[in-house]
Amino acid sequence: MKLGLLFPGQGSQFVGMGKDFYDNSQKAREMFEIASEAIKTDFKKLMFEENDDINKTEFTQPAILLYSAIAYELFKDTPFDFQYALGHSLGEFSALYAAGALELADAIKLVHERGKLMNAAFKDKVGSMMVVLGLDDETVEEVCKNSNLQVWPANYNSDGQIVIAGIREDLEKLEPVLKEKGAKRVMLLNMSVASHCPLLESASEPLKELVNEYVKDEFLPVVSNVTAKKYTTKSEALEVLPVQLTKPVLYKQSIKNYEDEVDMFVEFGGKVLMGINRKITKKKTLPITDMASLEKVINTIQG
């Protein structure tokens, strides 16, 4: 079966993520150890116990990546045809792991540092992101452009669902304007970093150095958030990954570009993209979040 592999981004984290894998798989336990050693952090405590770090971006990102990586490792021996890996925001780095571009320890280090770079960019300002439902892309783009505020389209999730990013105060000012334009819902997210907008410019060059250090020369196809096109080499990764911080995520465009190449999508470590996909494509998306859903997906693929 031809599969598109999907990997969720920040915001999909929760306490208890990966515990069923840990309890039932030696491979998962070994991967927890690798991750813990990579950044000297107890991932069992981070992911299984109530704590503040799980929502701090420098820890959220490696936790989500580890969860997705374990789901993929437990699945990958199932016979399937790897067409491409596609991640949403942070998920692009999980996709790179699945495509063979990163070793696990290096992937954990890379996204840990990415999170710290993003935090540092907002040391002296408060950013956020805001979901807008019920407006077309062009209207939201026009509102942002004409606002004279520091706000930008950040995630093109599906028709009628777009996320904008910027300075928190500016986003709050934009809320009544978007509602006046006909938005069905406008919701400010509980976060202090504005991803995928020019406010992260200072993090791009340091991230490029990390990509150069950790990413392998060649790998299986990964779809870029920035271009909505596939790439397979380190040289291409050096072009798209640093600017991924400052450019919008073209998720729905990516799905539409390549949905005809696959029989089905599988989401590793979440169900967020499955929900979004229902609004974009008629192709089925199945999630792997624990041992039971892993078995269900394997049984579906093997018929």
CA neighbor of 241 nearest in space, from 287, 208, 197: 208
Q: What is the mean pLDDT of the chain?
A: 96
pTM over 0.85: yes
Q: Report yes or no: 202 and 120 within 8 Å, Cβ to Cβ.
A: yes
Structural domain spans, the chain: 2-122+198-302, 127-188
Closest to 66 in 3D by CA, of 88, 83, 47: 47
Query: pLDDT tens-digit profile of 12-39?
Result: 788 999 999 999 999 999 999 999 999 9
Rounded CA separation 13/53 (Å) = 11
Q: Which two tokens stand for residue 90?
A: 């942070």
pLDDT of residue 288: 98
Residue ranges for the chain with pLDDT beneath 70: none
Rounded to 5 degrees, φ, ψ at 113 are: -70, -35
Could you check whether 2-122+198-302 and 127-188 share the same CATH topology? no
**Chain length of the chain:** 303
Contacts of 158 (CB under 8 A, 6+ apart): 251, 252, 276, 279, 280
CATH number of 127-188: 3.30.70.250
Q: What is the pLDDT of residues 38-87, one digit of tens each?
A: 999 999 999 999 998 888 899 999 999 999 999 999 999 999 999 999 99
Q: Compute the distance between CA of residue 181 and CA of residue 8 in angstroms, rounded to an integer.
A: 30
User: Which residues belong to the active site?
Assistant: 89, 196
HEC-encoded secondary structure of the chain: CEEEEEECCCCCCCCCCCHHHHHHCHHHHHHHHHHHHHHCCCHHHHHHCCCCHHHCHHHHHHHHHHHHHHHHHHHCCCCCEEEEEEECCCHHHHHHHHCCCCCHHHHHHHHHHHHHHHHHHCCCCCEEEEEEECCCHHHHHHHHHHCCCCEEEEEEEECCEEEEEEEHHHHHHHHHHHHHCCCCEEEECCCCCCCCCHHHHHHHHHHHHHHHHHCCCEEEEEECCCCCCEEEEHHHHHHHHHHHCCCCECHHHHHHHHHHHCCEEEEECCCHHHHHHCCCCCCCEEEECCHHHHHHHHHHHHC
pLDDT score of 11: 81
Decide: 186 and 175 in contact? Cβ < 8 Å.
Answer: yes
Q: Are 176 and 147 in contact (CB under 8 A)?
A: no
Pick the CATH number of 2-122+198-302 from 3.30.70.100, 3.40.366.10, 3.40.630.30, 3.40.50.10280: 3.40.366.10
Residue 78's φ and ψ, nearest 5 degrees, are -70, 130
- The pLDDT value recorded for residue 296 is 97
